[in-house]
Chains A and B, each alone.
Chain A
């Protein structure tokens, strides 16, 4: 029809305007990231847009990789051990949240069982509780199953992953349920008719279709573990990057450019993970299916 345009196609100028607005809105965040990254390569903190504040150096990174906590003196720590601890916690939570979320999301989306509605309501309620409110109760559970002293370190990792994942699972379940809801029942039906078990259908047919959802949940789980301070500081026997930074930011003594380097290192996996998963996350369409 003449004069009719697809609503999704905007004129170039409108697009440019939207881009500008989005850029302006993200500017404070981008500036914050840029300043911390610049500071990590500078002898002084770059806290404004004055270029003279930037005094290039690699010292901060060298100090950080040597596990030094101050420009001069200070204790030496095993920084790679700390990165490793953080990775274990973040990956552990990510994995647990994704697996549990994908299983429960599938069950709630596809199966009819007693208490299904109540579980759905409870999940929302659980999500409404911030993790910090639950710390006392979680500490009680920690003590309930506390092993003999020798195993405390392993137990603390296991426990933190479990406890922190438990807080993320309600949200993950809802997200995954949404993704499973988008897949037509017919696909599953035909597979079951062909003799596949429920688990096989879930694994072979449904999961590949909701990769974007899995990536999103995995990313949220990873970030929850990577960024967590309260749970790791309270329950983990070993430090993570967040705890390390928290311990070394003290206005009276801290050499802040070194903290900025630690902060940049702390940001890195998040940015990388996001960049790699970005394409997957934004592919919301369920390919090859017509409703």
Chain B
């Protein structure tokens, strides 16, 4: 009897569980739908305020009182405006709504990692799981893969309405946002990679730096001259090293050598990567010359950023450093400097950075070639399912997507871009933001963050602003913006990271003396040919020049 009862009970329990799961599934999957009604659409006019109001009213008329968006980004701790820019934009849009009787709230969830590439990987793995953010700021190189998979919104039509907004960005940077003729991103920031020269070492070695930046700009000063200066500094005992550069990866700092020697990395016509044997050989031979003269450490590629590279540069042990504009403020906010007077490790003061470092473009490889720099602009991209976390998504999809676009447009207000540039030492992407850096009145307001409407953003960035919004830093940004005219971009090709890894491997072997520059170029060719994907993707061109040496 007991057995029979328990059997019946078990069957009933199983049936109840099955029905329960079925019902839950039904309710869960049918919730949030549009109920078959006609989707609501809002036409963009190009007038921001009117469009924002139209969108707000469309939401309100459909019973929506709160909308939620998620924004992800990553990078150094000073670049948090890559997410807070959207939080501030939401506050500004809500103010427009309040002034026009639209009572809808925008909530922004933020997620910020120190590795932008991890954010990108999470975006692609989570897109299909409905967990990807609505908006992401990340490297422009990812646009190609995200767009080809349909993960991000094509903004071409929206930007056709917002033509003057589109044209407010520097053309080179805006051009980097396109993929197959369509625009998928809005520039967020960009950067340049100056060659820093230690002024004290130069003075000690009797090297006159006056007008050097202009001579580099004109192509008069080449890497051979930098080599001679570095040697002079080392020979006179003024510096431990002549040149220091990044570790680990050849991308993107060292790739500049290829462009500086007039080489190519990408063939747009055939959509193929390029191994320019001549330029790559000259890059390897140049670095080899530095190592042979004891000017560049042979184990440079495995130095530690925090313990070796920055302390060596900041404590005046290296004549030149291939760095980036962001290092200017990083040296102020991190304790790389060992104060000889107090014996403590601390960040440099802005006036000390100015006193220690001179900066120029990355010089031309040889006479007749041009100086260069390399940029990797960050781009705002919008999820092709933007707004999906909100109610009545099927009905209001168009409205939600356009609101995401307006959030990005607002986050590109000149003051938001300018604040990001100042606190993170990245270069502004619009002329209007650039002009603010010279606007005394605006800079005075910046001290109290009067222009920021969101308390969350104000609290989060006030310390950073008080430490970085300094006339010396702002002057540095103004003085380096011209470098964007000389900028190059790395290819938006899916196989490029693999090729860049091979470059890093080859240059490491050259620096360690395990391979001659010539062998290293041939090693690259062999490596490319042995990988079917790379072989298809890379065009090998040019020949190794015979008898070439850096100093002629």
- A: residues with CB less than 8 A from B are 69-70, 72-76, 139, 142-143, 145-152, 155-156, 195, 197-199, 233-235, 237, 239, 246-254
A148 contacts which of B31, B74, B114, B334 (Cβ < 8 Å)? B31
Q: B481 an interface residue at 8 Å Cβ cutoff? A: no
Q: Please classify how large the interface on chain B is, using the bins under 10, 10 to 19, 20 to 34, 35 or more.
A: 35 or more
Query: CA separation between A251 and B333, bound complex, in Å?
Result: 16
Q: Is the CB of B78 within 8 A of A73?
A: yes
Most A C-beta atoms less than 10 A away, residue of B2, B28, B31, B118: B28
Q: Is the CB of A149 within 8 A of B76?
A: no
Query: CA separation between A7 and B130, bound complex, in Å?
Result: 62
Contacts of A252 in B (CB 8 A): 76, 114, 305
The residue in chain B whose Cβ has the minimal distance to the Cβ of A236 is B131
Q: Is the CB of B391 within 8 A of A69?
A: no
Q: Is the CB of B115 within 8 A of A72?
A: no
Query: CA separation between A151 and B114, bound complex, in Å?
Result: 29
The residue in chain A whose Cβ has the minimal distance to the Cβ of B304 is A251
Q: Is the CB of A69 within 8 A of B114?
A: yes
- Give the number of residue pairs across the A-B interface with Cβ within 8 Å: 101
| Interchain nearest-CB distance for B10 vs A (Å) | 10
A151 contacts which of B6, B31, B113 (Cβ < 8 Å)? B31
Q: Is the CB of B113 within 8 A of A150?
A: no
The 6 lowest CB-CB distance pairs between A and B, nearest first, are A70-B77, A74-B77, A250-B114, A247-B113, A147-B28, A75-B112
The residue in chain A whose Cβ has the minimal distance to the Cβ of B125 is A234
Query: CA separation between A70 and B79, bound complex, in Å?
Result: 12
Query: CA separation between A74 and B77, bound complex, in Å?
Result: 4
B66-82 contact mask (Cβ, 8 Å, vs A): 1 or 0: 00000000111110100
Q: B32 an interface residue at 8 Å Cβ cutoff? A: yes
Query: CA separation between A74 and B82, bound complex, in Å?
Result: 11
B113 contacts which of A139, A146, A248 (Cβ < 8 Å)? A248
Besides A75-B110, A150-B31, A156-B129, 15 other A-B contacts (C-beta < 8 A): A69-B112, A69-B114, A72-B77, A72-B467, A74-B112, A76-B460, A139-B128, A146-B130, A147-B28, A148-B29, A149-B390, A233-B122, A235-B129, A247-B114, A251-B305
Contacts of A248 in B (CB 8 A): 113-114
| Interchain nearest-CB distance for A10 vs B (Å) | 48
Query: CA separation between A145 and B29, bound complex, in Å?
Result: 9
| Interchain nearest-CB distance for B391 vs A (Å) | 7
| Interchain nearest-CB distance for B473 vs A (Å) | 14
Contacts of B6 in A (CB 8 A): 197-199
The residue in chain B whose Cβ has the minimal distance to the Cβ of A246 is B118
Contacts of A249 in B (CB 8 A): 114
Q: Is the CB of B80 within 8 A of A73?
A: yes
Query: CA separation between A76 and B460, bound complex, in Å?
Result: 7
Given contacts A72-B463, A247-B114, A247-B118, contact A151 B77 (CB under 8 A): no
Q: Is the CB of A73 within 8 A of B464?
A: yes
Query: CA separation between A143 and B125, bound complex, in Å?
Result: 12
| Interchain nearest-CB distance for A78 vs B (Å) | 11
Contacts of A233 in B (CB 8 A): 122
Given contacts A143-B129, A152-B389, contact A253 B114 (CB under 8 A): yes
Q: Is the CB of B333 within 8 A of A72?
A: yes
The residue in chain B whose Cβ has the minimal distance to the Cβ of A68 is B77
Contacts of B389 in A (CB 8 A): 149-150, 152
Contacts of B461 in A (CB 8 A): 73
Q: Is the CB of A147 within 8 A of B131?
A: no
| Interchain nearest-CB distance for B168 vs A (Å) | 27
B360-404 contact mask (Cβ, 8 Å, vs A): 1 or 0: 000000000000000000000000000011110100000000000
Query: CA separation between A254 and B307, bound complex, in Å?
Result: 12
Contacts of A75 in B (CB 8 A): 77, 80, 83-84, 110, 112, 460
Q: B156 an interface residue at 8 Å Cβ cutoff? A: no
Query: CA separation between A235 and B125, bound complex, in Å?
Result: 9
Contacts of B423 in A (CB 8 A): 73
Contacts of B130 in A (CB 8 A): 146, 149, 152
Query: CA separation between A237 and B76, bound complex, in Å?
Result: 23
The residue in chain B whose Cβ has the minimal distance to the Cβ of A76 is B460
Q: Is the CB of A147 within 8 A of B29?
A: yes
Contacts of B333 in A (CB 8 A): 72-73
B2 contacts which of A72, A197, A234, A237 (Cβ < 8 Å)? A197
Q: Is the CB of A72 within 8 A of B31?
A: no
The residue in chain A whose Cβ has the minimal distance to the Cβ of B2 is A197
Query: CA separation between A199 and B19, bound complex, in Å?
Result: 24
| Interchain nearest-CB distance for B102 vs A (Å) | 23
The residue in chain B whose Cβ has the minimal distance to the Cβ of A44 is B345
Q: B482 an interface residue at 8 Å Cβ cutoff? A: no
| Interchain nearest-CB distance for A4 vs B (Å) | 53
Q: B33 an interface residue at 8 Å Cβ cutoff? A: yes
